[in-house]
Amino acid sequence: MEKKTIRDLDVKGKTVLVRVDFNVPIEDGEITDDNRIRQALPTIEQLIDKQGKLVLFSHLGRIKSEEDKEGKSLRPVSEKLAEHLGRPVKFVPVTRGDELESAVGSLQVGEVLMVENTRFEDIDGKKESKNDPDLGRYWASLGDVFVNDAFGTAHRSHASNVGIANNMDEVAAGLLLEKEIKYLGDAVENPERPFIALMGGVKVSDKIGVLENLLQKADMVLIGGGMSYTFMRAQGLSTGNSVVEEDKLDLAKSLLEKAEGKLHLPLDFRAAKEFSNDAETRVTDYDDLRDDEEGLDIGPKTIEKYAELLQNAKTVVWNGPVGVFEFENFAKGTKGILSTLAELKDTNTILGGGDSAAAAIKFGYEDAIDHISTGGGASLEFLEGKTLPGIQCVDDL
């Protein structure tokens, strides 16, 4: 997938519209995780070095009413970005109109401006989320070239990505989007083998397409997390009070048949009678869960087995934690997998966003993994083999 990137652009003196993904958690006006801001810095800094005038667009949360706007302004994000860049970032508290146009028009080479939350446009008819053509055309009129660096929204056709792109003569990928295409795209379409996929999370239904695609592409698929119990029940095993999707048992049976031995399930679990970090725990084999117990993490035998299987891998893609890692007593499996991946030599390790990415950052493995995706739903759809509109709209080389 060869796409034009900012390396191919001449932006000297031009106004560059950049779609970033600054949808970061904010509590009481403070950003609690600025990973997405930091991930966008290489693109922003290179465009500054290339003497562009930058106008940044991002959404923050979901906005359906005026009340939803409370606490969803991008002003604190612009302030955090300024800290990282070591230079001012102009913030415009509107998404259209004279104030925005004047601010953009007065930008000098190397300056950065951030537009207010694009989803404020959703209050009246979901103009952003439904890719209103007039809104996309308006935003596009503010600049000379468009750079999409927001992989987190690449699976959505919004006015601030596809809408702008459709009205620009030149559209390129930022360095983060390029990195996502390279790592996730190559992992699925052209992996160095053996290629092992590790799938966790709660529901099989959330990852049907991904599982079906990876069972065709990967040499082995390891299962953990809540989805394990649906596969176990499909084989007639007792799952106690563990989460099971009763309406997906036939699907789980079908996937097991299609897998032809590629799909591996846990050997044991760490179980408890309550969904609590303080609950008394018991390690049990996969076929010995009691009726009043709930599996909340993979057990030591599984951690050891999966570590052994991963030793020979040349490409590993992991999406979804293998236990309730938010509880320290049920984070052993997720930590064990992270530790194994961190120790692998000459292996391309990729985390497909969402909770598995959050776990890696929480437990200090961020720098030990080759690539941690900034996309949740976008990563899943990309791993499923779908065409993402936010990538498709970028010019081909």
Total domains present in the chain = 2
220 in the same domain as 140: no
In-domain check, residue 201: yes
294 in the same domain as 200: yes
> What is the rounded average pLDDT of the residues 311-318?
96
Q: What is the reported pTM?
A: 0.90
Do the beta carbons of residue 224 and residue 313 sit within 8 Å?
Answer: no
195 in the same domain as 273: yes
Domain boundary residue among 117, 145, 176? 176
217 in the same domain as 104: no
In-domain check, residue 267: yes
> What is the rounded average pLDDT of the residues 285-300?
95
d(CA 142, CA 295): 54
Token pair, residue 363, equals 């437990």
Predicted local confidence at residue 29, as pLDDT = 86
Domain boundary residue among 128, 143, 176? 176
Q: What is the pLDDT of residues 102-139, one digit of tens each?
A: 999 999 999 999 999 999 999 989 999 999 999 999 99
b/e for 204-235, b at 16 or more Cβ within 10 A?
A: bebbbebbbbbbebbebbbbbbbbbbbbbbbe
d(CA 296, CA 277): 10
Token pair, residue 167, equals 């009205």
**Ramachandran area for residue 18 (φ above 0: left; ψ -120 to 50: alpha; else beta):** beta
In-domain check, residue 392: no
Q: Is the pLDDT of residue 307 over 90?
A: yes
d(CA 213, CA 199): 12
205 in the same domain as 154: no
Q: What is the pLDDT of residues 75-87, one digit of tens each?
A: 999 999 999 999 9
In-domain check, residue 394: no
Start-to-end CA span in the chain (Å): 9
102 in the same domain as 25: yes
206 in the same domain as 77: no
> What is the rounded average pLDDT of the residues 187-194?
92
In-domain check, residue 393: no
Q: Is the pLDDT of residue 6 over 90?
A: yes
Q: Is the pLDDT of residue 1 over 80?
A: no
196 in the same domain as 160: no
In-domain check, residue 185: no
Domain boundary residue among 176, 204, 228? 176
Q: At 68, which CATH number?
A: 3.40.50.1260
Predicted local confidence at residue 189, as pLDDT = 87
Q: Share the mean pLDDT of the chain.
A: 95
Q: Smallest Cα–Cα separation from 305: which of 281, 333, 327?
A: 333
b/e for 160-195, b at 16 or more Cβ within 10 A?
A: bbbbbbbbbebbbbbbbbbbbbebbeebbeebeebb
196 in the same domain as 172: no
> What is the rounded average pLDDT of the residues 280-289?
95
Cα 93 to Cα 98, 115, 161: the distances in Å are 12, 7, 20
204 in the same domain as 345: yes
In-domain check, residue 330: yes
Query: Where residue 353 falls among pLDDT bands split at 50, 70, 90?
Result: confident
166 in the same domain as 240: no
> What is the rounded average pLDDT of the residues 311-321?
95
Structure letter (DSSP) for residue 386:
P
Q: Is the pLDDT of residue 242 over 80?
A: yes
Predicted local confidence at residue 352, as pLDDT = 87
Query: Where residue 202 falls among pLDDT bands split at 50, 70, 90?
Result: confident
Residue 138 is part of which domain span? 6-176
Q: Is the pLDDT of residue 291 over 80?
A: yes
172 in the same domain as 29: yes
In-domain check, residue 370: yes
- For the annotated catalytic residues, the residue numbers are 36, 203, 354, 377
